[in-house]
């Protein structure tokens, strides 16, 4: 029998577009500070005005409903304004990893069909190189520090009037198109409707024990907004609650601690590598972090031992959550209440979310409490599917709406879930997904490499690191460092190969599929 959530239903959700949360917040908290971005700050009414003007600017550029608009920028107020302006215009925001290299940017822009890119000036150069790989013409709106620069983001806003939002069908129309590797292969566009995002925001807002965002919260946004964690666990819930966001563009531990201390951050949302750093960093002890009410960790598993240690260092409760881009992203969060909290667990499902553990060989067979299998999920936050990829969609979502996470776990009698491993072969480096097939394809492009395989090697700091097994071409004297440099010149930092081992042959099955499990077993 399906194990339903222990949390009460929040239905009906009230179906509306995602940008309505900003309109409502601007009405309720017009003069309250919504965003602190360096020396600049923005009120809720200011964000609403700017986003409606950006929507108007897009309309003057000929943007039509369902057109794709890319955002390539680090965390900044302009990212938030652009996001809501895009959805308000009826277009779809495709958020691009600001650490991507040329070929990765080109793949997403080409695959998504983006016609316009909102790009930060710091990334203009790499975008120009990416455009050489893109077949269709793509226009750019550049975010510049000089707000009067001709044709720039802010100069464009100064020339247009606010735009009345396009009519949206929240359950049908897409709001966001982030990219995810899914189970295998190159990144795929994840089609998230307005209803998907709004439902998950309301599920998060319904958490008990003070775990949800509130009007008096001040939230540090160091997680990238291009990632679904930053977008729909931080940005959208903060706007919905009337909370203040403090932007951080590049992670630095000293700056991170200073922001928490100086801005009196109330709730911390972060990832395991940061938690490990906090548990080892000597400077933490001298900081006044008493403002923190709790810390929530997601994007990768956190051991119960490290979870308890971080809680002792921060002197506040530490809980875990779970989600995926395809799930908008959250399905599970543990309870804040001490009598309900279970260390090491991602907690039970959110409201109106069904979950079960099924047999990995026979997905129709639901397992009993304590038995290990694949976690499958059903709820309003499940994506509509992968863009232009019905085969991958059908492999992931059943006809009756169950989403196969590819993660191996167990569930107890009360519905709490523990994630133990991954059925899929993605590498999780500091919370980022690294598809082995992409790196393998890149490696064999090198003339001195005849074959290659990539696995995730366990690593205390990063969770996993990409390790490459390489077969040299005849007569080659290529070194490990040369291989790592070759890869690092082609892909973003989190995809860099961190270790190389030369082998005589790559193990494969009769059909040619790489047997990564054999390589993984050799590491243990």
Q: Identify the pLDDT of residue 431.
A: 85
Q: Last residue of some domain: 304, 327, 349?
A: 349
Q: Identify the pLDDT of residue 5.
A: 52
> Do the beta carbons of residue 353 and residue 331 sit within 8 Å?
yes
Domain assignment present for 215: yes
Residue found by looking up tokens 């598993």 in the block = 301
Domain assignment present for 514: yes
List the alpha helices (DSSP H) in 132-235.
153-157, 194-205, 228-229
Domain assignment present for 373: no
Averaged pLDDT for residues 102-112: 95
Looking at the structure, do residues 199 and 85 belong to the same domain, yes or no?
yes
Looking at the structure, do residues 333 and 472 belong to the same domain, yes or no?
no
Helix (H, G, I), strand (E, B) or coil at 45: helix
Domain assignment present for 476: yes
Q: Identify the pLDDT of residue 6.
A: 60
Poorest-pLDDT segment among 177-191, 238-252, 336-350: 177-191
- CATH code for the domain in which residue 274 is found: 3.40.50.12780
Looking at the structure, do residues 329 and 461 belong to the same domain, yes or no?
no
Q: Last residue of some domain: 317, 349, 381?
A: 349
Residue 234: pLDDT over 90:
yes
Q: Identify the pLDDT of residue 522.
A: 82
Looking at the structure, do residues 26 and 172 belong to the same domain, yes or no?
yes
Q: Please, what's the b/e burial string for 363-400 (b: 16 or more CB within 10 A of its CB; e: otherwise)?
A: eeebbeeeeebbbbbbbbbbbbbbbebeebbeebbeee
Domain assignment present for 383: no
Q: Of all residues in the chain, what percent carry a pLDDT higher than 90?
A: 79
> Do the beta carbons of residue 47 and residue 76 sit within 8 Å?
no
> Per-residue confidence at 524, pLDDT binned at 50, 70, 90?
low
Looking at the structure, do residues 116 and 257 belong to the same domain, yes or no?
yes
Looking at the structure, do residues 335 and 454 belong to the same domain, yes or no?
no
Residues linked to residue 465 through DSSP beta bridges, in sequence order: 457
Overall domain count for the chain? 2
- The boundaries of the domain holding residue 84 are 14-349
Averaged pLDDT for residues 300-317: 90
The phi and psi torsions of 12 (rounded to 5 degrees) equal: -80, 150
Poorest-pLDDT segment among 51-55, 152-156, 160-164: 160-164
Full-prediction pTM beyond 0.85?
Answer: yes
Domain assignment present for 229: yes
Looking at the structure, do residues 160 and 303 belong to the same domain, yes or no?
yes
Question: What order do you get walking across the sheet with 267-270 strand by strand?
Answer: 40-43, 33-37, 244-247, 218-221, 267-270, 294-297, 318-323, 330-333
Q: What is the mean pLDDT of the chain?
A: 93
Element (H, E) at 374: strand 373-378
Looking at the structure, do residues 197 and 344 belong to the same domain, yes or no?
yes
Q: Summarize pLDDT for 433-482 with one digit per residue, the tens.
A: 788 888 988 998 899 999 999 999 999 889 999 999 999 999 999 999 99
> Per-residue confidence at 62, pLDDT binned at 50, 70, 90?
very high
Q: Last residue of some domain: 349, 383, 398?
A: 349
Residues linked to residue 411 through DSSP beta bridges, in sequence order: 417
Looking at the structure, do residues 434 and 340 belong to the same domain, yes or no?
no
Looking at the structure, do residues 300 and 449 belong to the same domain, yes or no?
no
Looking at the structure, do residues 185 and 293 belong to the same domain, yes or no?
yes
Looking at the structure, do residues 309 and 455 belong to the same domain, yes or no?
no
Domain assignment present for 35: yes
Q: Summarize pLDDT for 386-428 with one digit per residue, the tens.
A: 999 999 999 999 999 999 999 989 999 999 999 987 777 788 8
Element (H, E) at 314: helix 304-314
Residue 111: pLDDT over 50:
yes
Residue 14: pLDDT over 90:
no
Domain assignment present for 238: yes
- CATH code for the domain in which residue 510 is found: 3.30.300.30
């Amino acid at each position: 029998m399906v194990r339903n959530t222990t949390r009460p239903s929040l239905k009906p959700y009230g179906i509306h577009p995602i940008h309505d949360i900003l309109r409502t917040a601007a009405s309720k908290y017009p003069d309250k500070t919504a965003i602190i971005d360096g020396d600049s700050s923005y009120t809720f009414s200011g964000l609403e005005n700017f986003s409606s003007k950006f929507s108007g600017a897009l309309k003057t550029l000929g943007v039509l409903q369902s057109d794709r608009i890319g955002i390539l920028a680090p965390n900044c107020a302009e990212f938030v304004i652009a996001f809501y302006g895009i959805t308000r215009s009826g277009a779809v925001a495709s958020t691009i990893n600001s650490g991507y290299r040329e070929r990765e940017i080109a793949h997403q822009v080409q695959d998504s069909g983006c016609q316009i890119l909102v790009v930060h000036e710091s990334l203009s150069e790499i975008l120009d190189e990416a455009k050489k790989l893109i077949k269709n013409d793509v226009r750019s709106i550049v975010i510049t520090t000089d707000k009067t620069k001709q044709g720039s983001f802010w100069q464009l806003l100064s020339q247009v009037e606010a735009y009345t939002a396009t009519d949206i069908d929240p359950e049908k129309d897409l709001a966001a198109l982030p990219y995810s590797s899914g189970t295998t292969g190159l990144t795929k566009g994840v089609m998230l409707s307005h209803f998907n995002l709004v439902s998950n925001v309301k599920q998060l807002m319904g958490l008990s024990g003070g775990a949800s965002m509130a009007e008096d919260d001040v939230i540090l946004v160091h997680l990238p907004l291009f990632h679904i964690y930053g977008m729909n666990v931080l940005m959208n819930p903060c706007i919905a609650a009337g909370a203040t966001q403090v932007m951080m563009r590049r992670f630095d531990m000293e700056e991170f601690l200073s922001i928490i201390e100086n801005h009196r951050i109330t709730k911390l949302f972060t990832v395991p590598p940061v938690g490990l750093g906090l548990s080892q960093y000597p400077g933490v002890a001298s900081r006044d972090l008493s403002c923190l009410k709790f810390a929530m960790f997601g994007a990768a598993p956190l051991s119960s031992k490290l979870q308890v240690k971080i809680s002792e260092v921060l002197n506040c409760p530490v809980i875990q959550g779970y989600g995926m881009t395809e799930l908008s992203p959250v399905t599970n969060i543990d309870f804040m209440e001490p009598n309900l909290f279970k260390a090491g667990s991602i907690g039970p499902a959110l409201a109106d979310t069904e979950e079960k553990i099924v047999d990995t060989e026979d997905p129709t067979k639901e397992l009993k409490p304590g038995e290990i299998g694949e976690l499958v999920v059903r709820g309003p936050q499940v994506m509509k599917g992968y863009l232009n990829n019905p085969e991958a969609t059908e492999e992931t979502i059943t006809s009756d709406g169950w989403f196969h996470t590819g993660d191996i776990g167990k569930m107890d009698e009360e519905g709490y879930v523990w994630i133990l491993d991954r059925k899929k072969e993605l590498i999780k480096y500091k919370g980022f997904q690294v598809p082995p097939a992409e790196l393998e394809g890149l490696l064999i492009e090198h003339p001195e490499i005849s074959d290659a395989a990539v696995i995730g090697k366990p690593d205390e700091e990063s969770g996993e690191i990409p390790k490459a097994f390489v077969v040299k071409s005849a007569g080659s004297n290529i070194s490990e460092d040369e291989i790592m440099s070759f890869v690092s010149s082609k892909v973003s930092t989190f995809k860099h190969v961190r270790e190389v081992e030369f082998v005589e042959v790559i193990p494969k099955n009769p059909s040619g599929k790489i047997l990564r499990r054999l390589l993984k077993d050799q590491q243990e």
